[in-house]
Amino acid sequence: MNNDQAAPEVLAALRAAFTVDDGGESALGWDAVRAFEAEHGVELPEPYRSFVAEISDGSFQGPPEYGLVGLAELPCDWGDDGETRDLGRPFPLTEEWAWEEDDGPHEDRDATVEQVFDHGSIVLGTDGCAMNWHLVVTGPHRGHIWHVTDVGAMPFGAEFGHTTSASGFAGWVAHWAAGKDWFDAV
């Protein structure tokens, strides 16, 4: 996974995965992407960065189930206005965590859960019922996709054991485009 440079073949695969959409008309363009990054104090990981600049800023086609939301948007089931989100603060997790099963100190758990939802990631979209997909933009897992639900969070990618696909945005899209179940290694 290369977070700093989008390979031409990766961008070609992303374009192919979204062929029924608008042919790039909804892409933000580089000026808008750079403005978003400056406003939030982050640099988006590749190839997602090039995807929203050149290919599409969201898609009704998917992934996930209810489509890919635009860069500055949140899924319709998010629950609040997202004003507490801080993309510049690191995403707090580096391994799967089922907080519903965690017996640690309650106040520490709640603070970390809030950070999982609000720090260091953009929300790519939802599968409904508060099952959201995040792209980490800040912290040790920068460039990785995480499945964040109301009961816990887990990283996406073969190295984490729940799927057979590559990690990162390109691997996540390729997995979806191949019609695979999200958790095909379980």
The answer regarding whether domain 8-70+87-177 maps to CATH 3.40.1580 reads: yes
Residue by residue, DSSP assigns the chain as --SS---HHHHHHHHHHTTTS-TTTT---HHHHHHHHHHHT--PPTTHHHIIIII-S-BSS-SSTT-BPPTT---TT--S--TT-BTTSPP--SS-B-GGG--S-HHHHHHHHHHHHHBSEEEEEE-STT-EEEEE-SSTTTT-EEEE-SS-EEEESGGGTS-SS-SHHHHHHHHHHTT--TTTT-
pLDDT score recorded for residue 159: 95
Who contacts 82 (Cβ-Cβ below 8 Å, separation ≥6)?
Answer: 74, 118
pLDDT score recorded for residue 62: 80
Q: Give pLDDT tens digits for 109-161.
A: 888 999 999 999 999 999 988 899 999 999 999 999 999 999 999 999 999 99
pLDDT category at 5 given cuts 50, 70, 90 is confident
Q: Give pLDDT tens digits for 57-74.
A: 988 888 888 889 999 899
Who contacts 78 (Cβ-Cβ below 8 Å, separation ≥6)?
Answer: 123, 126, 132
For residue 24, pLDDT beyond 80: no
Report how far residue 132's alpha carbon sits from residue 130's, in angstroms, rounded to the nearest whole number. Answer: 6
Spans of all domains in the chain? 8-70+87-177
pLDDT score recorded for residue 172: 96
Question: Which of 20-24, 51-55, 62-66, 124-128 has the least mean pLDDT?
Answer: 20-24
For residue 180, pLDDT beyond 70: yes
pLDDT score recorded for residue 69: 93
pLDDT category at 20 given cuts 50, 70, 90 is low
Task: Report the candidate in 80, 77, 67 with the shortest Cα–Cα distance to residue 129.
Answer: 77
For residue 176, pLDDT beyond 90: yes
pLDDT score recorded for residue 103: 78
From residue 173, give the alpha-carbon distance in Å to each of 91, 98, 103, 121: 21, 25, 35, 17
For 68, phi then psi, to 5°, come to: -85, 120
Report how far residue 80's alpha carbon sits from residue 64's, in angstroms, rounded to the nearest whole number. Answer: 20
Q: Give pLDDT tens digits for 74-123.
A: 988 777 766 789 999 999 999 999 998 887 776 788 889 999 999 999 99
